[in-house]
Structure 1
Amino acid sequence: MKNNFIFIGMPAVGKSTVGVVVAKRLGMKFIDTDLLIQEQENRLLREIIADVGEDGFLRIENQVNRDVNAENAVISPGGSVVYCEEAMQHFKEIGTVVYLKASYQTIKRRIRSPKKRGVVLREGQTFKDLYHERTELFEKYADITICEDGCRIEETIENVLDAVESLGK
Structure 2
Amino acid sequence: MSPFNTISLVGMPGTGKSTVGILLAKLTGLRFVDTDLDIQVREEATLQEILEQHDYRYLRQVEEDVLLNLRLDHALVSTGGSVVYSAPSMARLKSLGPVIYLKTELATLEERVAAAPLRGIASDGEQSFAQVYAERTPLYERYADYILVTGDNTPQQVATAALQLLPRN
TM-score (norm 2): 0.91
Counterparts of 1:90 and 1:4, CA distance in 2: 11
User: Is the contact made by 1:114 and 1:127 (CA closer than 8 Å) also made in structure 2?
Assistant: no
Tell whether 2:130 aligns with 1:144: no
Task: Describe the SS at the equivalent of 2:55.
Answer: helix
The alpha carbon displacement at 1:150 in A equals 2.7
Contact 1:62/1:85 (8 A) holds in 2: no
1:67 is displaced (CA, Å) by 1.5
Structure 2 unaligned segments of length 5 or more: list them.
Answer: none
> 2:57 aligns to what?
55
Alpha-carbon distance between aligned partners in 1 of 2:117 and 2:38, rounded to the nearest angstrom: 21
* Greater alpha carbon shift after TM alignment, 125-134 vs 103-112: 103-112
**Does residue 168 of the first structure (1) align with residue 133 of the second (2)?**
no
Contact 1:121 1:127 in 2 (8 A): no
1:90-101 mapped onto 2 (5 Å cutoff): 90-101=92-103
**Is the Cα contact below 8 Å between 1:22 and 1:157 reproduced in 2?**
yes
Task: Judge which range, 9-18 or 122-131, deviates more.
Answer: 122-131
Whole-angstrom CA distance in 1 between matches of 2:59 and 2:14: 20
The aligned counterpart of 1:13 is: 15
Q: Map Cα deviations across residues 107-146 of structure 1 (whole Å, 9 max, x no partner).
A: 1222215742222442431111110101011001000111
Please give the root-mean-square deviation of Cα atoms over the aligned residues, in Å.
1.8
Structure 1 138/114 Cα, relative in aligned 2: closer, same or farther at 3 Å?
farther
> Which of 114, 117, 120 is equivalent to 2:119?
117
TM-score, normalised relative to structure 1:
0.91
| Residue pair 2:6, 2:73 contacting (<8 A) in 1 also | yes
Identity %: 34
- Unaligned runs of at least 5 residues, structure 1: none
Q: 1:43, 1:118 → 2: CA distance?
A: 11
Matched residue SS, 2:60: helix
d(CA) in 2 for partners of 1:37 and 1:90? 17
Residue 63 of structure 1 aligns to which amino acid in structure 2? D
After TM superposition, the structure 1 stretch with the greater mean CA deviation from structure 2, 120-129 or 20-29, is 120-129
Runs of 4+ in 1 over 3 A off after TM superposition: none
Give the match's secondary structure for 1:24.
helix
- Give the paired residue count: 167
Residues 1:76 and 2:83 are matched in the alignment: no
Pair 43,117 (structure 1): closer, same or farther in 2 beyond 3 Å: closer
Q: 1:46 to 1:139 in 2, by over 3 A?
A: same
Amino acid corresponding to residue 75 of structure 1 in structure 2: V
* Partner SS, residue 14 of structure 2: coil
